[in-house]
């Protein structure tokens, strides 16, 4: 059995669907055919029974009473003198089971205990019994056995022939032949129906699985060529499972293509950003190396400037590489096990201390209220530091920076030159830098890191022009003003 199931599972899906449809139709056809056959059998036997009861008329008593007086088990070979069709078996049965055959009978029907029970229970047997039986030659017959007291009207029960019963039978040969022909017809029709259902199931499976074939071809094409631009055509108003699967595949390939494009763009942008400091660093190092090789010393002031430039470029490279690593970790996915309950006010205070060190000539006013969020501590601190660094970088000397944390909303307002409205949609793009800020140090990844970190913590960030000049950075993070029980 297991091997059969294993073989069926190894068949193609359309073959299994065809077999399933054929099996379902075969079961349905078999149930209908068997039910039909039994209904027809009941109808035919009912007609035979009605004919038997119609034949059991009172006048038969006078016609067959001689059979009791001259009882014989073999009908004589003479002509039919009674008003009974030759196809009937007609005989009387005594209480000891002895049959007395009428001269008009086709033959002798075998007597059973059911027939003698009719005689013994003449007052309760009603219209008698109807059963299947056989004659002495083994032919199938339908038998009606009735007590004679029931047939004779106007006579007190049990007075007329109380020890005998009338047995009338009819051959079932024609009825059984009709049923056999019906069974053969139903069998042929069932076979044709099952074969047709199998063929229809195969056709339906092929038509229904054609989109799956297209999807398979598309997947194989992507695996073979890595071409993510392929799309499966789907009808817009279609809502079946195949259409949903096709739309999901198209969405998946579109997402993969977009991810690949972003990766390629990241690599290209990173290469472009790395090329400038590397080129400058190489030039400066070559100048220092040539000075050593030729023995021509570089003036102390120029040498100091070259070394300062190398240090600055190394610092810029380290910052850029650190930003790229941070961004790549964010792109790799935000792991749930990295999330912790963070006291946002403490993170903001730590970032403010670093900001004051970087801009000692600036005035930073802070109003920080308690707020607890679920985030990655190091990533959240890096994001807030980046926001404050931008505010310090673009604030004029002696300027003021206002920092407020209230009900989960952190706002950082500087009084710098501000961001033009046409540049606001691009401020969170990777490596994007305002034309006015390209001379300033930075990798162009700071705000991208801020946006990604805040989004992964379930919040949102925005930059808007401030009234009177400057920029307002707003970060909203879900959380609570009270620490959770495990921290309290």
The percentage of residues in the chain with a pLDDT greater than 90, rounded to a whole number, is: 11
pLDDT tens digits, 194-229: 888 778 777 777 776 777 777 777 778 777 877 777
Residue, of 44 and 267, whose pLDDT is higher? 44
Residue, of 433 and 267, whose pLDDT is higher? 267
Domain count for the chain: 4
The enclosing domain of 245 has a CATH number of 1.10.287.130
For residue 158, name the pLDDT band (cuts at 50, 70, 90): very low
Tell me the C-alpha distance between 182 and 275, whole Å: 91
Residue 411 has pLDDT above 90, yes or no: yes
The enclosing domain of 350 has a CATH number of 3.30.565.10
Residue, of 234 and 383, whose pLDDT is higher? 383
pLDDT at site 395: 87
Q: At what angle do helices 13-55 and 2-10 cross, to 10 degrees?
A: 120
Q: Is residue 256 part of a domain?
A: yes
pLDDT at site 354: 83
- Same domain, yes or no: 189 and 285: no
Q: Per the confidence metrics, is the pTM higher than 0.85?
A: no
Tell me the C-alpha distance between 400 and 340, whole Å: 33
Kindly state the average pLDDT of the residues 305-309.
Answer: 79
The count of residues in the chain is 488
- Token couple for 403: 């920092």
Strands 363-368 and 400-406, sheet pairing: parallel
Residue 404 has pLDDT above 90, yes or no: yes
- Same domain, yes or no: 145 and 67: yes
Q: Is residue 236 part of a domain?
A: no
Q: Is residue 49 part of a domain?
A: no
Residue, of 348 and 11, whose pLDDT is higher? 348
Q: With contact defined as beta carbons under 8 Å apart, do 204 and 180 qualify?
A: no
- Same domain, yes or no: 71 and 158: yes
pLDDT tens digits, 268-289: 666 666 676 777 778 888 888 8
For residue 80, name the pLDDT band (cuts at 50, 70, 90): very low
- Same domain, yes or no: 344 and 317: no
Residue 454 has pLDDT above 80, yes or no: yes
pLDDT at site 154: 46
Q: Is residue 53 part of a domain?
A: no
- Contact residues for 454 (Cβ-Cβ < 8 A; gap 6+): 383, 460, 461, 475, 477
Q: How far is CA 359 from the centre of its chain?
A: 59
Q: Is residue 487 part of a domain?
A: no
For residue 487, name the pLDDT band (cuts at 50, 70, 90): low
Q: Is residue 28 part of a domain?
A: yes
pLDDT tens digits, 465-486: 888 888 899 999 998 888 876 5
Kindly state the average pLDDT of the residues 399-415.
Answer: 91
- Same domain, yes or no: 467 and 341: yes
Residue-number span of the structural domain to which 388 is assigned: 336-476
Q: Is residue 468 part of a domain?
A: yes
Residue 375: how many other CB atoms lie within 10 Å: 27
pLDDT at site 401: 92
What is the pLDDT of the chain when averaged over all its residues? 77
Tell me the C-alpha distance between 262 and 268, whole Å: 10
Read off the DSSP letter of residue 109: B
Burial level of 449, CB count in 10 A (0-12/13-18/19+)? buried
pLDDT at site 475: 92
Residue 37 has pLDDT above 80, yes or no: yes
- Name the H helices within 226-333: 241-294, 300-331
- Same domain, yes or no: 346 and 454: yes
Residue 246 has pLDDT above 70, yes or no: yes
pLDDT tens digits, 325-337: 666 665 545 455 5
- Same domain, yes or no: 66 and 31: no
- Same domain, yes or no: 92 and 27: no
Backbone angles phi, psi at 161, to 5 degrees: 45, 60
- Same domain, yes or no: 98 and 120: yes
Of the listed ranges 72-76, 95-99, 391-395, the one predicted with least confidence: 72-76
| 299, 331, 363 - which closes a domain | 331
pLDDT at site 436: 54
Residue 412 has pLDDT above 90, yes or no: yes
- Same domain, yes or no: 83 and 126: yes
Residue 403 has pLDDT above 90, yes or no: yes
Residue, of 126 and 295, whose pLDDT is higher? 295
- Same domain, yes or no: 23 and 134: no
Q: Is residue 488 part of a domain?
A: no
| 277, 300, 331 - which closes a domain | 331
164: three-class secondary structure by DSSP: strand
- Same domain, yes or no: 355 and 417: yes
170: three-class secondary structure by DSSP: strand
- Token couple for 184: 């053969």
The H-or-E segment that residue 410 falls in is: strand 409-413
Angle at 381 between CA 377 and CA 385, to 5 degrees: 175
Tell me the C-alpha distance between 190 and 184, whole Å: 10
Kindly state the average pLDDT of the residues 12-41.
Answer: 82
The percentage of residues in the chain with a pLDDT greater than 70, rounded to a whole number, is: 74
- Contact residues for 421 (Cβ-Cβ < 8 A; gap 6+): 465
């Amino acid at each position: 059995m297991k091997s059969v199931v294993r073989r069926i599972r190894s068949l193609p899906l359309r073959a299994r669907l065809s077999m399933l449809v054929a099996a379902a139709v075969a079961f349905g056809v078999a149930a209908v055919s068997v039910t039909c056959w039994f209904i027809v059998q009941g109808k035919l036997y009912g007609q035979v029974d009605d004919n038997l009861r119609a034949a059991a008329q009172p006048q038969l008593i006078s016609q067959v009473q001689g059979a009791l007086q001259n009882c014989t088990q073999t009908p004589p070979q003479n002509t039919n003198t009674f008003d009974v069709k030759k196809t009937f078996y007609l005989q009387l049965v005594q209480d000891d089971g002895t049959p007395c055959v009428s001269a008009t009978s086709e033959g002798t029907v075998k007597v059973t205990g059911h027939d003698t029970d009719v005689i013994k229970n003449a007052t309760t047997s009603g219209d008698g019994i109807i059963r299947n039986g056989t004659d002495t030659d083994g032919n199938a017959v339908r038998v009606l056995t009735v007590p004679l007291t029931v047939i004779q009207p106007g006579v007190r029960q049990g007075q007329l022939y109380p020890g005998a019963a009338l047995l009338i039978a009819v051959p079932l040969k024609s009825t059984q032949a009709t049923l056999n022909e019906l069974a053969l017809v139903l069998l042929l029709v069932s076979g044709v129906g099952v074969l047709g259902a199998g063929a229809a199931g195969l056709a339906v499976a092929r038509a229904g699985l054609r989109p799956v074939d297209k999807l398979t071809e598309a997947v194989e094409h992507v695996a073979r060529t890595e071409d993510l631009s392929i799309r499966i055509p789907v009808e817009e108003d279609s809502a079946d499972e195949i259409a949903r699967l096709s739309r999901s595949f198209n969405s998946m390939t579109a997402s993969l293509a977009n991810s690949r494009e972003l990766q390629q763009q990241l690599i290209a942008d990173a290469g472009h950003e790395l090329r400038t400091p590397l080129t400058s660093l190489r030039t400066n190092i070559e100048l220092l190396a040539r000075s050593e090789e030729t023995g021509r010393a570089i003036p102390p002031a120029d040498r100091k400037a070259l070394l300062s430039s190398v240090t600055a470029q190394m610092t810029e490279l380290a910052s850029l590489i650190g930003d790229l690593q941070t961004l790549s970790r964010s792109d790799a996915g935000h792991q749930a096990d990295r999330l912790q309950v963070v006291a946002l006010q403490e993170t903001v205070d730590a970032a403010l201390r670093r900001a004051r060190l970087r801009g000692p000539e600036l005035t930073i006013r802070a109003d920080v209220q308690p707020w607890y969020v679920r985030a990655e501590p190091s990533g959240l601190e890096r994001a807030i530091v980046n926001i404050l660094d931008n505010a310090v970088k673009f604030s004029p000397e002696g300027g003021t920076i206002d920092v407020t944390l209230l009900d989960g909303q952190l706002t950082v307002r500087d009084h710098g030159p501000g961001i033009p409205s046409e540049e606001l949609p691009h401020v969170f793009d990777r490596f994007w830098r305002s034309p006015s800020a390209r001379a300033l140090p930075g990798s162009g990844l700071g705000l991208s890191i801020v946006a990604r970190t805040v989004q992964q913590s379930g919040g949102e960030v925005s930059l808007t022009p401030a009234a009177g000049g400057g920029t307002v950075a707003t970060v909203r993070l879900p959380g609570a003003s009270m620490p959770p029980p495990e921290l309290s």
